[in-house]
Amino acid sequence: MRRPSPTVLAVIVAALAPSALAQNTPQNPASSATPSVDTAGINMAAAAATEDRAATTAERPTPTPPPSNLLDRIGSMVELHGYLRVRPEWMHQFDVGWDDLALRDANVSYANSQLPWVRNPDNGLDGLCPDNPQGRCTGRTQTMANMRFRLNPEIHITDNIAIYSQIDVFDNLILGSTPQGYYTGGQASPWAPIGAFSQTQVAPTEQNSLTPSIMVSRAWAEVTNQSLGQLRFGRMPGQWGLGILANAGNGIDSDYQTHSDRIMYAARIRPLHLFLAAFYDFPSSGATSQTLSREAGQGQPIDVSQLDDVNQFGLALGRRVDPAEARQRLSRGQLVINGGLYGLYRNQALSTEFVGVGAETAAQSVDQRTVGVDSPRVGTGIIQRDAWAVISDLWFQVLHRNFRFEMEAAFIYGQTNLARAAGTRNAQVYDLAQFGGAMEFEYRLLNNRLTLDFRTGFASGDGDIEGVNFQNGFTAPQRGATQAFTTFRFHPDYRIDMILWRQIFRQVSGAYYFRPAVTYAFVNSPGGDRLYGRAAVIWSRASEFVQTRGNAADLGIEINAEVTYQSNFRDTTLGDRPGAGFFASLQYGVLFPMAGLGPREDERASSTYSGFSFSTAQTLRGVVGVMY
């Protein structure tokens, strides 16, 4: 990172030197803080007073000047990393054909598709588009561009004490979404034009946007003792293995992240390359005096109940070779083997979530996740949750100069009570038994220019749920009297494609896939420019065929292609930070939907669905950004 200019730092030094910085400056204990004075032009009285103090002044040593490296100290104390990105995207026919059927048959709506994709409401509007036949509008395409400016400040107090944070400005802000005069409520200004003649964009506020201009998502501290280990505390990123369970989402094209409110102790046995970490998380604190509108905006909020808290204890242990030594081994053609086990236990006794269905009184029919709930109603809306889960995740990695093999497998086992009427116990007890895993293999040829890549993954499905990938998970309808949830969901930032799992369903769940790919670097200069092209084919199938709309396992075949350029390229396989520079990528994807996304066979035999035909979904997207 380029340091701030000396002029700017000089102003900071001048402002701070009398206080904090002065305490860090080595000085003679007997020296005086009185500055030297230019006596030219001083009047006679001042001169006389100066002569009277001459003897005293002569006894004082000359003030010590500031050290010459003071600006360097400030520059090395504060580091700033992050990126700015802009992503235009064109999305075509993501309804995969269901919109066409809904337009032809009044008895079918887009909701019959069970797709979570938000369709274009322009499609099918009558009488508003006179240029089209019968005045009907068609809206099979959705386009947009969004941006994000991310700042990751680091304050290194000493070599062993540091504070880290993450701040997003315009987080995934859709360009053009806050035009002049665009307000969600109240009376608009009489001087603000309609959107068609808006003259400027305004900052996102609570009046025109659901997200603020600035979002602080992380802030944590790390205190390290070379002999005793490291202590971390605050809201920090969560990352393990490939990221199918916990994913920090720090990539320039990332959208989802794992944030953990955590207190953690970590230690390393460096000669054996072993690590151990134990931590306590705060996944949910339940009702607080602040959410109950008891605080006036200042002061310390209170967690009013302990039994509605979600508690989580974690342990991670394994082997990881230090990056510096790993580079040396790889350069000599040796293997580097890393791996470990990540375990969590979480529980919750009581809850105020989803209270209301079957409630006996109005006071109980309030889902008290809502901020600002009246405090007297909290006690009447608490239910017995009795939830607990054991989560284990195994990660294994083998690195070589010419290849990489990596896998991760996670298992979730537990139980929860989903009773909705307050005061009930063990009325709707559900078991949790979910499994997911992913494997990646890369083989590099032609001096790392050509890479052959194969990835596959599996997420357990649920044969008792109709429809695929319910976003609300625990509230999905069950078939029969079974009471178990077995659908595993990958973290949404673990991406394998551009359309089906990235955009339509948002995460891999209840399915398995095969993804062969090939990458060729036209320009490949470590520490310099890198220009490469990549092509991949993704075949996706449901783990349980009944969990699809069409009761068929095949979901689709997708083809992805991209051309990407990055200046100051740096390989991040060993955990290094991406090199600062310019990033640009042009990507194209096409999805050929298959039987699992369409109507069932018995429905196709009816007149309503007999005319259904799939539409090929396509996308063209770009990413341009600057990393620093």
Strands (E), 12-77: none
Q: Which domain holds residue 353?
A: 226-427
* Residue 186 within any structural domain of the chain: no
* Residue 32 within any structural domain of the chain: no
Look at residues 399, 427, 455 and tell me which one is the last residue of a structural domain: 427
Alpha-carbon separation of residue 73 from 76, 157, 210, 595 (angstroms): 5, 10, 41, 64
Q: State the average pLDDT over residues 127-156.
A: 86
- Could you give the number of structural domains in the chain? 2
Higher-scoring residue by pLDDT: 128, 336: 336
pLDDT in tens, 587-602: 999 999 999 999 999 8
pLDDT at residue number 368: 54
Among the listed residues 584, 587, 610, 585, the one whose alpha carbon sits nearest the alpha carbon of residue 599: 610
Look at residues 403, 427, 451 and tell me which one is the last residue of a structural domain: 427
Among the listed residues 250, 254, 253, 275, the one whose alpha carbon sits nearest the alpha carbon of residue 265: 275
For residue 52, pLDDT beyond 80: no
Q: Is the four-CA dihedral 574, 576, 168, 263 of positive or negative sign?
A: positive
Dist CA 197 CA 349 (whole Å): 55
SS3 75: helix
| Share of residues in the chain with pLDDT > 90 (%) | 54
pLDDT in tens, 85-137: 999 999 999 999 998 888 777 788 888 888 889 888 887 777 788 777 666 78
* Residue 71 within any structural domain of the chain: no
pLDDT bucket at 195, cuts 50 / 70 / 90:
confident
* Residue 366 within any structural domain of the chain: yes
Among the listed residues 229, 233, 242, 285, the one whose alpha carbon sits nearest the alpha carbon of residue 260: 233
Higher-scoring residue by pLDDT: 26, 465: 465
Dist CA 183 CA 176 (whole Å): 13
SS3 339: strand
Look at residues 395, 427, 459 and tell me which one is the last residue of a structural domain: 427
- Cα dihedral 576, 578, 580, 584, rounded to 10, equals 170
Q: State the average pLDDT over residues 208-236.
A: 94
Please check whether residues 348 and 241 belong to one and the same domain.
Answer: yes
Please check whether residues 423 and 448 belong to one and the same domain.
Answer: no
pLDDT bucket at 33, cuts 50 / 70 / 90:
very low
pLDDT in tens, 296-328: 677 888 887 888 899 999 999 999 999 999 999
| Predicted TM-score of the model (pTM) | 0.83
Please check whether residues 366 and 402 belong to one and the same domain.
Answer: yes
Residue 299, C-beta contacts closer than 8 angstroms, at least 6 positions apart: none
Dist CA 593 CA 571 (whole Å): 35
Please check whether residues 402 and 484 belong to one and the same domain.
Answer: no
Please check whether residues 449 and 558 belong to one and the same domain.
Answer: yes
Please check whether residues 602 and 463 belong to one and the same domain.
Answer: yes
Higher-scoring residue by pLDDT: 182, 312: 312
Please check whether residues 338 and 401 belong to one and the same domain.
Answer: yes
pLDDT at residue number 359: 44
pLDDT in tens, 381-398: 677 889 999 999 999 999
Higher-scoring residue by pLDDT: 179, 513: 513
pLDDT at residue number 185: 56
Please check whether residues 623 and 601 belong to one and the same domain.
Answer: yes
Q: State the average pLDDT over residues 40-59.
A: 39
The values of phi and psi at residue 74, to 5°, are: -65, -40
Dist CA 146 CA 623 (whole Å): 10
Please check whether residues 557 and 628 belong to one and the same domain.
Answer: yes
pLDDT in tens, 542-562: 999 988 999 999 999 999 999
- Average pLDDT taken over every residue of the chain: 83
Please check whether residues 423 and 444 belong to one and the same domain.
Answer: no
Across 19-28, 266-275, 520-529, least confident range: 19-28
Please check whether residues 571 and 441 belong to one and the same domain.
Answer: yes
pLDDT at residue number 130: 72
pLDDT in tens, 480-517: 667 888 999 999 999 999 999 999 999 999 999 999 99
* Residue 132 within any structural domain of the chain: yes
